[in-house]
Structure 1
């Protein structure tokens, strides 16, 4: 009889070409060993069912849950039962982890805060440079049969433009390190870091978001999602931006008001946008995003800034190692958000 039960609610790496294959969980079985009953959440048509009664039945008896997109709710924790010890998020963002609830219940919570820093920074740079150099309209024009140097308009000299970074954590700093080679100036707004820190990344801190928006030619968001940052970019903020400025978001979709962004694009408040994240996850599920998706001055990707073979392999192994260590009574510190010893 297995000593421990661990449930992965919605592991994306088990779905390939729309087909679920439990045999792909090789890393997890290798790290966790044979004394762990490894379960996976319900799925249908190549998608996990993370909001159905069957999921609640599947997690019953679990000691640890590993979540990806699945929301941590009181119902999920109740369904797991009294032997539940905590939750591990297979990713960086923690808005679905519900840390206050875990703390209230006396459960530990972990995420993997740094496994894809290089990937997200490179993807952000790719979105920004594609907009700056007007690559998408050039690509579409030439592929459609026309050779037109000026299709999409004439780019600006990037070395004379200013990059503005909102949020200067791990990824914001990596973006500064990569893009400072292109932009003539890099500005940073982050009320949670000291004014001197950006200087080490060839950047300069500003005191307000408004100042950064007004001065920057490209603005990139690298903030966590919380009450302070939700829809931090709305109509008022977009009106502060330059008409030749671009907005990038590879952080969290809820940082931007989609209606305001669509209006800003259509009315020329800004020159374009590069987006990897939306809310809901699939922007086609919310008609408010359609003006943004359809606008010719947008570059969009399907929440894959984090993705590479190396990053995925690292994430899977590190999560499995976290689960293994916690089952063995050890307390790793990297990624620890709350611990079962901390109780209200």
Structure 2
């Protein structure tokens, strides 16, 4: 008897650039592709799926419970906070994610934000646009601070692939690099700087850690109060890592020198979101979660996504985050 075609459902294809090529799966299957999927559509769309592909669509227990034959969730991203891993593990559903594809694009975006903020690029551009250069009646003017990176201190939260890549660029630019120990750690070890010390000594702080219950609001009012050098804060990881009201207060009170964010809570933010309201400030930059999205990186992600599914079908799943692998 012929093998039944596996049912593969892609819940949010529009989160991957339309220019990106998704190569066909090699095994017998039926593919349903949805541009977007709302929360109330998830259960129906995955009910008969063997394999579900999701980038940001949440997969929660109530929807997973109705997925009668679901065997694999292929996450088209590194972060898996949108998938209930415990529920998947309980049902024996393999969850695989994407790794290592953004090792150039995210660090480059991080330093694009750092350069722009340390040298007040946006503020100067807007002032030139407004006629300030002509009004100055000389060859230059000094309305906004310009600071070099050489000799400054870069604090990094998260020592994974992206954190290490950012550190390498920082060192190449002459920066002193501090990897922060986990918040609250009593004995951080020689490779890590106590979290509070990193906050106090850094001129630039950049976040490269996952969002979970331990890291939610990792940077809040108490942490901003410790930032003695008024650093620039960069967040290209997840919006929930920084308490947004506390960020707004820190920016408006001058507790930090600026902030560059590529993430928000929620996404997309509406016009009432605090981060959107901060865009009137010359030392705040918000980009629409595109640090990962260079052409080369997105194609690498798509290729790895297919590789993960193929590996599962061949009986050797890779990049597994659930069920937990055993030694």
Q: So what's the TM-score if we normalise by structure 2?
A: 0.88
Residue number in structure 2 paired with 1:4: 6
- Do structure 1's residue 50 and structure 2's residue 43 form an aligned pair? no
1:296: how far off? 2.0
How big is each residue's C-alpha offset from its partner over 1:178-230, in whole Å with a ceiling of 9 and x where there is no partner?
12122431111134998455xxxxxxx31x21110101111111111111110
- Gapped regions of structure 2 (runs ≥ 5): none
- Of the three residues 241, 251, 254, the one matched with 2:237 is 251
**What secondary structure sits across from 1:75 in the alignment?**
helix
In structure 2, the CA distance between the partners of 1:246 and 1:190, relative to structure 1 (3 Å rule), is: same
- Of the three residues 159, 170, 181, the one matched with 2:172 is 181
In structure 2, the CA distance between the partners of 1:290 and 1:310, relative to structure 1 (3 Å rule), is: closer
Distance 1:328 1:311 in 2: 25
- Of the three residues 36, 49, 73, the one matched with 2:29 is 36
How big is each residue's C-alpha offset from its partner over 1:107-162, in whole Å with a ceiling of 9 and x where there is no partner?
11110121112111111111111111111111222234442633551312322321
- Do structure 1's residue 216 and structure 2's residue 218 form an aligned pair? no
For residues 113-132 of structure 1, what are the structure 2 equivalents within 5 Å? Answer: 113-132=99-118
Residue number in structure 2 paired with 1:240: 226
**What secondary structure sits across from 1:293 in the alignment?**
helix
**What secondary structure sits across from 1:211 in the alignment?**
helix
1:91: how far off? 0.6
How big is each residue's C-alpha offset from its partner over 1:278-300, in whole Å with a ceiling of 9 and x where there is no partner?
11012326533344333221011
In structure 2, the CA distance between the partners of 1:235 and 1:264, relative to structure 1 (3 Å rule), is: same
How big is each residue's C-alpha offset from its partner over 1:44-82, in whole Å with a ceiling of 9 and x where there is no partner?
xxxx232123x432222111111111111112213322x
Residue number in structure 2 paired with 1:337: 321
Distance 1:8 1:152 in 2: 50
Q: So what's the TM-score if we normalise by structure 1?
A: 0.84
**What secondary structure sits across from 1:159 in the alignment?**
coil
Distance 1:341 1:117 in 2: 25
In structure 2, the CA distance between the partners of 1:286 and 1:36, relative to structure 1 (3 Å rule), is: farther
- Of the three residues 64, 75, 80, the one matched with 2:62 is 75
In structure 2, the CA distance between the partners of 1:218 and 1:26, relative to structure 1 (3 Å rule), is: closer
How many positions carry a matched residue from both structures?
316
Residue number in structure 2 paired with 1:20: none
**What secondary structure sits across from 2:310 in the alignment?**
helix
1:270: how far off? 1.0
- Of the three residues 84, 87, 90, the one matched with 1:101 is 87
In structure 2, the CA distance between the partners of 1:245 and 1:183, relative to structure 1 (3 Å rule), is: farther
8 Å CA contact 2:275–2:286 kept in 1: the answer is no
8 Å CA contact 1:141–1:151 kept in 2: the answer is no
8 Å CA contact 1:252–1:278 kept in 2: the answer is yes
Distance 2:20 2:222 in 1: 47
Distance 1:78 1:98 in 2: 11
In structure 2, the CA distance between the partners of 1:13 and 1:250, relative to structure 1 (3 Å rule), is: closer
8 Å CA contact 1:168–1:190 kept in 2: the answer is no
Residue number in structure 1 paired with 2:46: 59
Distance 2:188 2:245 in 1: 33
Distance 1:86 1:36 in 2: 14
Distance 2:240 2:109 in 1: 19
Distance 1:157 1:125 in 2: 13
**What secondary structure sits across from 1:180 in the alignment?**
helix
In structure 2, the CA distance between the partners of 1:13 and 1:165, relative to structure 1 (3 Å rule), is: closer
1:14: how far off? 6.2
**What secondary structure sits across from 1:142 in the alignment?**
helix
